[in-house]
Structure 1
Amino acid sequence: MTKPFAITLDVGSSLANHTGAWRQERPVYVDLTPPCAHACPAMEDPQKWLYAAEDGSYEQAWRTLVESNPFPAIMGRVCYHPCETACNRTFLDEAVGINAVERFLGDHAIEQGWTLPAPATTTGYHVLVVGAGPTGLSAAYQLRRLGHDVTVRDSSPKPGGMMRYGIPAYRLPRNVLDAEVARIIDLGITLELGRRVDDVLAAMAEGFDAVFLAVGAQLGKRAYVPAGEAARIVDAVSMLHDVAQGEPPLLGRRVVVYGGGNTAVDAARTAKRLGATDAVIVYRRTRDRMPAHDSEMAEALEEGVVVKWLSTVAHADAGHLRVERMELDESGFPQPTGEFEDLEADSLVLALGQESDLTLVDDVPDVALSDGSVQVDSSFMTGHPGIFAGGDVVPAQRTVTVGVGHGARAARAIDAWLRQSPVAEPTEAPIAEYASLNTWYYADAPHAVRPRLEAARRTSGFEEVVQGLDAETAAYEARRCMSCGNCFECDNCYGVCPDNAVIKLGPGMRFEIDYDYCKGCGICVAECPSGSILMVPEPR
């Protein structure tokens, strides 16, 4: 009986060694962009440091993390983790607790006394950074890493910007803030506190080669509220600033906060901690349209903060407010109804937005301003050569995470401008989609829940509300990462290949495919958990 042709070939014959010639498609290993990395405004790649943290290599994970973000302990507390919103694991069970692991790594680094690597050899260039908030310090850190001399000037007595003077201590303990800021300054950055920059051109003329404006948005937005002469009205930004300086204002027992953002929620929660029996937020829209983050609002409600939805302050006077009920029109815009209600209130706190003090560029005609923001190009440079700006002073979302990302990107641009070289913008590979993963290999593993202080204990002081993970739980959470779009050497492709065409290159080296033996069956692609192997047309 004649045997089928395919099995009459002797091993080692030329045809047996070149079965790949029959393929229509071939598998290739790829490195895709994890959705968490794509969503991070600070340009972190969480997948990289989560991979290191899985087996307890915490220092390696931390050092990978701080290449892009020098504030892991801070960001692990105040970032609203868009990375987790984008996480593919949400389609399986729950998002990986990226933010919680980030905080653990940051706290662990402080406990262990880990220091940042020494900067590169000095370039001889000197950059002035105006503002010691997250954007300015991020830029200073990256510029120093690149070898530039950096001076940071800030009008406040302590560094941190809105991280110190806008975020309450129950969300960001000051010892954590101080530790991560000091670690950056220790790289050799000159920090000049209590020194306001009123004229950026005059400052630049002192011998600086470039200036980066990162003054933040530390002014409460002015808004007209009809009020009697005896009404006590303060703005939320000033209130939080005074509390941070240890000089809390006298608000009384009944406090009304007007606004719907995170600052309004922080103001109301702070009022409770200052002794207010009643803290009421008056907001013109409904909760689903509130810009404040859900987690902050949920904690505020647990602490006894009350919200008057669909309401606006019509008049303020000593001891009481008049509030008008609103209703949303078809476009979602609030409209007055003519229905009023009186509230008892010892003080009214306005939290209607923030703006930057841009008087330092008043005499710079080629720095364009629009709607209270500095206009910059894609490299964060203003219309004046050598003057850059980022963070709250440019049109963007105002968060610590965005500020850190702006600082890092601006530092690269300043470095390129000083060296008269093009900005090396990183290219992003396609995003790893959930559909490309083989989730059969991932067991259901709900995320670790971070403990919180009981609501009854919170309002008695400024003790931190959200607690961190321990080492064991952090490692568990890191292992929940599915390594979307990137090989993690699980050996599946090596084990399932019927032709032994997958070659192991050694730990950390991944694999390669011997196309002389590969038939293009695609089993490796189908069985790859992370979607890091794709079938592509056979080249002809």
Structure 2
Amino acid sequence: MNKPFAITLNPGSSLANRTGSWRTERPVYVDRLPPCNNQCPAGEDIQGWLFHAESGNYEKAWQHLTKDNPFPAIMGRVCYHTCEGACNRAKLDEAVGINSVERFLGDEAIKRGWKLVVPTAETGKHILIVGAGPSGMSAAYHLRRLGHRVTVYEAGPMLGGMMRFGIPKYRLPRDVLDAEMQRVIDLGVEVKLNAKVDNILETMQTGKFDAAFLAVGAHIGKRATIPAGAVSKIVDAVSVLRSMEHEDKPMLGRRVVVYGGGNTAIDVARTAKRMGAEPIIVYRRTRDKMPAHDFEVEEALQEGVMIKWLSTIKHAGDSSITVEKMELDANGFPQPTGEFETLEADSVVLALGQDVDLGLLNGVPGLEVTDGVVKVDANMMTGHAGIFAGGDMVPTERNITVAVGHGKKAARHIDAWLKGEKYEAPAKHQLATFERLNTWYYSDAPKTVRPMLDVIRRQSTFEEVQGGLDETNALFEARRCLSCGNCFECDNCYGVCPDNAVIKLGPGKRFEFNYDYCKGCGLCVAECPCGAINMEPENI
């Protein structure tokens, strides 16, 4: 048998000399926390499922992914993938296309009919979920997999919450949404549609529920005080987007002014464009201050949406609006200039944020509501025992990934509470930093560019704008992962050890050190590509 290329000593002499007695430090295999995992609001083990994906075992990758997130096809489309912003590979060339691979796995699961594991052991406990949006359905999924009986009450006629009523079809096709919602139901989750909960305590008592998770979405559009004529048509963005799910589409006219600067403003303007309107977004600050994601703004501009920066609406008439030009002061805050302009407008759509309907909480003792959201403790439980809350209902950043993470977190705490226990999250490993990597071991691999629908079709149809990966480039993209901080069995330590002190334990089992023969030279640490070995002081 040929010796590994970097072994320079005679194995027999090495073993006989027991060089381990010379050491002052010893190498130790460690697992560090990849920055992508650390960044993910849904708590995904991103590096874990990428490991399976890069070997071509897509179903195993999907099963690993769905331990934390039941909606990879949805999240692969609408998540803003902050994990990629934290990716160490971005400092080498470009971040790994984590979101693209996640979408590919989700789409493969739908296409191939992959199934989730149905729980076999039943706890006998019954949990109420209020709201069938991302947070509620995530909680339902995780609670069901823990063996609890789950019933979801949804005030609307369809599943999905703000995923359906707040995200246009060109970003999230409804067949994808329906497929991943149905998968949760197939686990044995009961759903009651058109079932608004008016009083949470009465509903819990009537249904004999042991606990409840409140996940009502922010469906109420905020209003602004705009002087307007009697026949002025002023509507809110959430109502416009919600009405797109029904047969009676909103009648906005041809000249549509959207007031606001968030992602919802962009969504409703792009929707109006596809309906044949000529939308103009009026926003009181500059582009760099706009809360909407820049790529969304750029796509809107490509599609012909006009944006009037540094402007605010002062008056709305029956066929026009008056806007006042603004300027930023020394602190970056917009100030009026006294200069006015008239814009033709058939309708004004307000996209100024959303509120949650908290009427179901009236009369519940112990609850604390501040600024339109419910206060919860570290366990996501409200001030009333057994009632938990998450998503838009609690103080947090409002996006789908955060909501899905809340559902998982709440499920774990509800499960522990029902058992009379307290859930303790495992301690996090030390972060795997770029400086610990030996990047010269990794080959150049430019990021895969996903296809985009051409602009002409984007202006007139609701076809999906962003394309996905196929099996070939999904495999390539997954293999761009550097496996930061976690051994992927590259054999470098085994190959470079001069004393045969590294023992291979077999595929998937990694390695261990034989300290009788390790002299603590640190060569294995210096040559580990992913920074998964540490030198520690010798215990004397």
C-alpha distance in structure 1 between counterparts of 2:260 and 2:532, whole Å: 46
Q: Which amino acid aligns with 2:182?
A: A
**Alignment match, 1:282:** 282
Task: Return the TM-score normalized by structure 2.
Answer: 0.97
List per-residue Cα deviations over 1:344-380 (Å, max 9, x = no partner).
1111000000010000001113111000000000011
The match for 1:167 is: 167
1:240 Cα deviation (Å)? 0.2
Q: Is the 8 A contact 2:497 2:524 kept in 1?
A: yes
Cα deviations by residue, 1:161-216 (Å, 9 ceiling, x for unpaired): 00011100000000000000000001111100000000000011020000110011
Q: State how far apart, in whole Å, the 1-side matches of 2:291 and 2:119 are.
A: 39
Partner of 1:102: 102
Q: 1:459 to 1:8 in 2, by over 3 A?
A: closer
- Larger displacement relative to structure 2 (283-292 or 75-84): 283-292
Tell me by how many angstroms 1:8 deviates: 13
1:250 corresponding residue in structure 2: 251
C-alpha distance 8-34 of structure 1, shift in aligned 2 (>3 A): closer
CA contact (8 A) 2:436 2:530 kept: yes
Partner residue in 2 for 1:331: 331
Q: How does 1:29-428 map to 2 (within 5 A)?
A: 29-206=29-206, 207-276=208-277, 278-428=278-428
Q: 1:128, CA displacement in angstroms?
A: 0.3
**Deviations along 1:488-510, whole A, 9 cap, x unmatched?**
00001111111111111100010
Q: Tell me: CA distance 1:12–1:398, structure 2 relative to 1, closer, same or farther (3 Å).
A: closer
Does structure 2 retain, via aligned residues, the 8 Å contact 1:168–1:244? Answer: no
- Separation in 1 of the partners of 2:87 and 2:443? 16
Over 3 Å counting, the alpha-carbon distance change for 1:10 and 1:222 in structure 2 is: closer
Instruction: Give the partner amino acid of 1:228.
Output: G
* Corresponding residue SS for 2:244: helix
Cα distance, 1:403 vs structure 2: 0.4
**Residue 12 (structure 1) shift:** 7.6
Asked if the contact 2:139–2:408 (Cα under 8 Å) also holds between the matched residues in 1, the reply is yes
Residue identity in the other structure for 2:444? D
| Pairwise CA distance, 1:55 | 2.1
| Aligned amino acid, residue 347 of structure 1 | S
**Partners of 1:91 and 1:377 in 2: CA distance:** 37
* 2:367 aligned partner, one-letter code: V
CA contact (8 A) 1:120 1:146 kept: no
Q: Give the counterpart letter for 2:361 in structure 1.
A: V
Taking the TM superposition and a 5 Å limit, the aligned residue runs for 1:456-467 are 456-467=456-467
Residue 11 of structure 1 and its aligned partner are, at CA, apart by 3.2
Q: Which stretch of structure 1 is more off in the superposition, 232-241 or 321-330? A: 321-330
Which amino acid is the alignment partner of residue 246 of structure 2? Q
CA distance in structure 2 between the partners assigned to 1:8 and 1:55 by the alignment: 35
In structure 2, C-alpha distance between the alignment counterparts of 1:8 and 1:509, rounded to whole Å: 27
Partner Cα distance (2:254, 2:435) in 1: 55
Per-residue CA deviation, residues 103-153 of structure 1 (Å, 9 max, x unaligned), is: 000000000001110114110100000000000000000000000000000
How many aligned positions are there? 531
Letter in 1 for 2:106: G
Equivalent pair of 1:437/1:484 in contact (CA under 8 Å):
yes
SS in structure 1 of the partner of residue 526 of structure 2: helix
Partner of 2:452: 452
1:314–1:513 distance in 2 versus 1, CA, 3 Å: same
Identity %: 64
Q: Secondary structure at the match of 1:459?
A: helix
Instruction: Give the conservation status (yes or no) of the 8 Å contact 2:282–2:307.
Output: yes
Q: What is the aligned counterpart of 2:13 among 1, 6, 11?
A: 11
The 1:58/1:506 distance shift into structure 2, 3 A limit, reads same
**Secondary structure in 1 matching 2:153:** strand
CA distance in 2, matches of 1:118, 1:446: 40
Seen in structure 2, the aligned counterparts of structure 1 residues 322 and 486 have a Cα distance that, compared at 3 Å, is same
Q: 1:260 to 1:12 in 2, by over 3 A?
A: closer
Secondary structure of the residue that 1:76 maps to in structure 2? helix
Give SS of 1:224's match.
coil
CA distance in 1, matches of 2:267, 2:302: 14
Contact 2:44 2:69 in 1 (8 A): yes
Partner residue, 1:522: 522
Q: CA 1:300 to 1:503, structure 2 compared with 1: closer, same or farther past 3 Å?
A: same
Distance 1:323 1:22 in 2: 79
Quote the offset at 1:471 in angstroms: 0.3
- In 2: Cα distance, 1:34 partner to 1:536 partner: 21
Q: Displacement, 1:511?
A: 0.5
CA distances 1:61-94 after superposition (whole Å, capped 9, x unpaired): 0000000000000000000001000000000000
**Residue type at the aligned position of 2:111:** E
Q: Which amino acid is the alignment partner of residue 499 of structure 1? A: D
Distance between the aligned counterparts of 2:468 and 2:10, measured in 1? 64
* One-letter amino acid of the structure 1 residue matched with residue 358 of structure 2: L
* Unaligned segments of structure 2, at least 5 residues: 1-8
**Matched residue type, 1:20:** G
1:484 and 2:484 equivalent?
yes
For 2:337, what is the secondary structure of its paired residue?
Answer: strand
Paired residue secondary structure (1:150)? strand
3-state DSSP class of the match of 2:377?
coil
Give the Cα separation in 1 of the matches to 2:149 and 2:63.
Answer: 22
Q: Which AA in structure 2 matches 1:471? A: E
Once residues 355 and 367 of structure 1 are traced to their aligned partners in structure 2, the CA distance between those partners, rounded to angstroms, is 18
- Secondary structure (helix, strand or coil) at the match of 2:338 reads strand
**Residue 13 of structure 1: CA displacement?**
7.6
Deviations 1:412-441 (A, max 9, x none): 000011000111312110110000000001
Change (3 A) 1:513 1:264: same
- What whole-Å deviation, never above 9, does each CA across 1:15-74 have from its counterpart, x for those lacking one? x12x12211211111001100000000000111111101121000000000000000000
Give the letter for the 1:54 counterpart: E
**1:11 counterpart SS class:** helix
CA distance 1:8–1:491, change in 2 (3 Å): closer
Contact 2:14-2:517 within 8 A present in 1 as well: no
2 CA distance for matches of 1:121 and 1:486? 34
Structure 1 runs (4+) greater than 2 angstroms displaced: 7-14
TM-score when normalising by structure 1: 0.97
> Quick one: distance in 2 between partners of 1:516 and 1:242?
72
> Distance between the aligned counterparts of 2:431 and 2:175, measured in 1?
38
Within 1, Cα distance between the matches of 2:349 and 2:363? 34
